[in-house]
Structure 1
Amino acid sequence: MRKGLKLITLAMCMAITNTACGRSTSDVENTPDEKEQLLIWSYYETEAQANGLDKLTASFNKSQDKYQVSWEYVPMTEFDKKISRAYTEQELPDVVIIDNPDMKKFIQLDMFEDISEYASTLNLDTDYYEASVDTIKYNDKYYGVPFNSNNVCLIYRSDLLMEAGVTPPKTWDELKETAKLLSKDGTYGFLMSAMDSEQGSFQLLSWVMAASDSDTQLTREAISESYDYLAGLIKDGCMPADCLNYSQTDIARRFIEGDIAMMENGPWVFSMLDEAGISYGLSPMPMNKRNAVILGGENLGIIKGKNVEGSIEFIKYCMEKGGTERFCSDANLLPSRIKSANKIIVDNPKLEIISQQMNYAIPRTGIEGYSRISKQLPKSFADVVTGELTPDEAAGKTLN
């Protein structure tokens, strides 16, 4: 009897020891309670965007038992570099929420999965903003889905314009005159971002395209005219030269402080302005030869070779189960699906002006040589502001 007990005890110990020693990673992943991990990279930095993405990922995780998604912040100014570096070091995420003009260059580097089979079920070419869909297509294949769409508008301090007895300007000439009237007692009439980054290029380009007749060609004349006009605002004391250093979030903070009467910015800062409790209004970007804005927004893309099945499930949740709409509602952004955008506008009328401007929003991916020119736009503008180059010389440098 005692010998039998010893044998049973020994067998139990061996079983426990073997179980502990044999607990491999694959065994853990296959247990019912364990989820496959998915990682998203995003540059969302405003509180509304970050909170919205927190809620989106949490709701997806609760909606099913197979995948656990988390997201990691990567600064916008470092996003492209980090993707390229991580690709070399094989440390890429599963999904990226990427600025829509950047997507095609990474598609051409074979970094995104072709998801045409799934994308064909979404009626992208009929139900979504055409300009946004253009940024995910390459050689008639789909390498992602549009997550949201936006553009910039003129945002103004209602109290300051009312005190000055002026209305929101509709043209370049009117903006110049209004900015002069509002620039007094330590207040600047206007501010935009012209920093040496994609944000600066994005904001500068709306002015260039308003001075142009083409959606696909950047001309020396249009660039020169834009540089001359904007540098003139600085020279006249209507815009601080600090615009060369400010991000879009920075200029929103300056606007809130109260020494900026009007700014070029987008819906991603509406929550900041609302939380600050200031009175502000919205107006279309002033026209020159025409009304023009540049398409902004982000796409969802799946990194090639990562967890494609799980990533598709996350995208399905966003596109088919209301995930995108709830995120956009939280973050003050416009869904790329037109029907969803119209629905959100009912609850958030401020987005109507962004929706209206989508009718003529120009995708950067369609502008010839944009990836090269975009890097030079803010640099050349800075040369004009500092007096190193004339507007025409700077325009030539931008194109060459």
Structure 2
Amino acid sequence: MAGVLAGCGGPGDSGDVTLKLVAADYGDSAANSSKKYWAKVVEGFEKDNPGIDVEVTVHSWNDVDREVKEMVKKGEAPDLAQIGAYADYAAQDKLYEADELLSIATQADFMTPLARAGEVHRIQYGMPFASSTRLLFYNTKLFKDAHLTPPRTWGELQSAAKALKARGVKIPYALPLGPEEAPAETLMWMLSGGGGYTDEVGSYDIDSKQNAKTFAWLRDELVGKGLTGPTPPAKMNRAEAFAAFSRGDVGMLNGHPTLMKMAAKKGVKFGMVPAPGVNGKAQATMGVADWMMAFKQNGHRKEAGKFLDYVYSEKNVLDFSNEYDILPVTNSASEAMAKDRGHTELGKFLKELPTSQLYPVGKTSWAQVSASIKQNIGRTVDKNGNPSSILGQIQNKAATAENAE
């Protein structure tokens, strides 16, 4: 009996192993589904690594996080998951550390802001898989008609918005602080005002003086002067703002690479510049990342590591980034893309990545804090909104959630 079992290839043995990966779909149709990307990657890997099979299940972004959560709850965790968040699983000690999986060269190749965002207590569990930054989009036709140049400061942004309003532009500046993606617009404005969600040591600092000043300026100088259109920012969602820009109804808004395709499809000509700050270009822009993680449950550390080293090769990272107009997460692929596409529109986003700041996704409390921001931040810019008070309430909830971690 012992002899039979020894030949069965238990966890981590050299026998045949099947790795299970659950991944998100970045395509918008069957023609460009992520299934095709993974099929190609798996084919190449299995050819070079007989004895390791990889089964990939691809779900839409609406379902993928929930599917993985349910698998883990049932005690059937996949070996690998490429989803939106990793911190809860790291906190439950369900994940391998990145340096238990990856070669030194692969781990060192991750871009620094992204690698840092994958850490919990300075240990990396989340491996960045896809990334993006934000830029200020502006409608070039509306700007040309009003003899405007792209703004570099808050004052110039306000002046441009006033000129657009005077010419009858429906939404001079779109400020989506509605529940769909309020944390993104919030962070972009916090960073441009010299603040952010956390301080230098990584503790929540939501009610800082800089953040309170930023939202007071938005309340008084943009929203209060009727420069953000007829929908109150608390009710304006990102999808609605992007659709309005693609119709030609918006003068300016913060956007990510997806908006380029949406606007081009509708024939809207646009330009893009780094986010304006108080007195010049903002010191940092917002970055976002999606995550790869490896679960300990099945014991396939060695095989999962081999596959991840292959996944993060320069060619595979570049192929994925080029297919979906998403920024690469490694230095080698970023340098290759900069050489090839640095002069293109995507290159402008790439340029902002090294100094970007991400959500504090390494905190298990972030999900609660994010929900609180979605619910409350829009009220800071209401006519009688009190930014200091509202930011203070969010900060108190954040501190309580953080202390419970």
Q: Give me the TM-score of the superposition, normalised by structure 2.
A: 0.77
Change (3 A) 1:281 1:74: same
Aligned to 1:16: none
Kept in 2: contact 1:49–1:330 (CA 8 A): no
Contact 1:155/1:281 (<8 A) preserved = yes
> Quick one: which of 178, 183, 207 aligns to 2:160?
178
Q: Which residue of 2 aligns with 1:303?
A: 295
How far 1:96 sits from its partner (Å)?
Answer: 2.8
Equivalent residue number for residue 4 of structure 2: none
* 2:257 is the counterpart of 1:267: yes
Is the Cα contact below 8 Å between 1:41 and 1:74 reproduced in 2?
no
Q: 5 Å matches for 1:219-298? A: 219-232=207-220, 233-240=222-229, 241=231, 243-288=233-278, 290-298=282-290
2: CA distance, partners of 1:97 / 1:49? 19
2:192–2:275: 8 Å Cα contact kept in structure 1?
Answer: no
1:110 to 82, 93, 118: 93
The CA distance in 2 between the partners of 1:220 and 1:202, in whole Å, is 18
Write the mapping of 1:148-159 to structure 2, written as runs, cut at 5 A.
148-159=130-141
Q: Which consecutive unaligned segments of at least 5 residues does structure 2 have?
A: 1-7, 9-15, 48-52, 397-405
Alignment-mate amino acid for residue 316 of structure 1: D
| Change over 3 Å in CA distance of 1:308–1:128 after alignment to 2 | closer
Distance 2:214 2:287 in 1: 18
Deviates more, 1:48-57 or 1:345-354: 48-57
Aligned match of 1:121: 104
Q: Percent identity?
A: 18
Cα 1:52–1:165, aligned 2, differ >3 Å: closer, same or farther? Answer: farther
User: What is residue 145 of structure 1 aligned with on the other side?
Assistant: 127
Aligned residue number for residue 183 of structure 2: 201
Instruction: Report how many aligned residue pairs link the two structures.
Output: 361
Shift of 1:155: 0.9
- Residue 333 of structure 1 is aligned with which of 321, 326, 338? 326
- Tell me which residue corresponds to 2:403: none
The residue aligned with 1:131 is 113
* Letter in structure 1 aligned against 2:392: G
Provide closer, same or farther for how the CA distance between residues 373 and 153 of structure 1 changes in structure 2, counting only shifts above 3 A.
same
Q: Take 2:362 and 2:128, find their aligned partners in 1: how far apart are those partners?
A: 19
Which of 98, 102, 107 is the matching residue for 2:83? 98
* CA distance in 2 between partners of 1:250 and 1:324 (Å): 31
* 1:364 to 2:346 alignment: no
Q: 1:374 aligns with which of 366, 370, 377?
A: 370
Quote the Cα distance in structure 1 between the aligned partners of 2:182 and 2:171.
Answer: 19
Instruction: Map Cα deviations across residues 201-245 of structure 1 (whole Å, 9 max, x no partner).
Output: 122112113323555443432232232233342332222435434
Q: 1:51 to 1:35 in 2, by over 3 A?
A: farther
- How far apart are 1:82 and its partner, in Å? 5.8
The one-letter code matched in structure 2 to 1:150 is S
Instruction: Give the structure-1-normalised TM-score.
Output: 0.78
Matches within 5 A, 1:4-19: none
The correspondence of residues 47-126 of structure 1 with structure 2, limited to 5 A, is 47=28, 51=32, 53-63=34-44, 64=46, 66-75=53-62, 83-90=68-75, 92-99=77-84, 102-125=85-108
For residues 113 and 373 of structure 1, the distance between their equivalents in structure 2, rounded to whole angstroms, comes to 26
Map residues 31-50 of structure 1 onto 2, 5 A cutoff. 36=18, 38-42=20-24, 44=26, 47=28
Report the CA distance between 1:318 and its aligned residue.
Answer: 2.0
CA distance in 1, matches of 2:136, 2:360: 24
Pair 1:355 & 2:350 matched: yes
Aligned equivalents of 1:74, 1:362: Cα separation in 2? 23
- Cα deviation for residue 118 of structure 1 reads 3.0
Larger-gyration structure (1/2): 1
Residue 173 of structure 2: SS of its match in structure 1? coil
**How far apart, CA to CA, are the structure 2 residues paired with 1:314 and 1:249?**
36
Structure 2 counterpart SS, 1:161: helix
Which is worse superposed, 326-335 or 48-57? 48-57
Tell me if structure 1 keeps the 8 A contact 2:176–2:185: yes
Give yes or no for contact 1:136–1:144 (8 Å, CA) kept in 2. yes
- Farther-moved stretch of structure 1 (88-97 vs 252-261): 88-97
Q: What SS is found at the alignment partner of 1:74?
A: coil
In the superposition, relative to structure 1, how do residues 325 and 159 fare at CA in structure 2: closer, same or farther (>3 Å)? same
RMSD: 3.3
Please give the alpha-carbon distance, in whole angstroms, between the structure 1 residues aligned to 2:106 and 2:20. 26
Structure 1 residue runs without a partner (length 5+) = 1-25, 27-33
- Please name the residue that 2:399 is paired with: none
Instruction: Judging by fraction of residues, say which structure has more helix.
Output: 1
State the SS of the aligned residue for 2:86. Answer: helix
Is this contact kept in 2: 1:151–1:358, CA < 8 A? yes
1:189 CA displacement:
1.2
Q: Mean Cα displacement is larger for which, 171-180 or 130-139?
A: 130-139
For 2:380 and 2:127, locate their aligned partners in 1 and report how far apart those are by CA, in whole Å: 39
**Distance in structure 1 (CA, Å) of the matches to 2:312 and 2:379:** 44
Which letter does structure 2 place at the counterpart of 1:121? Answer: I
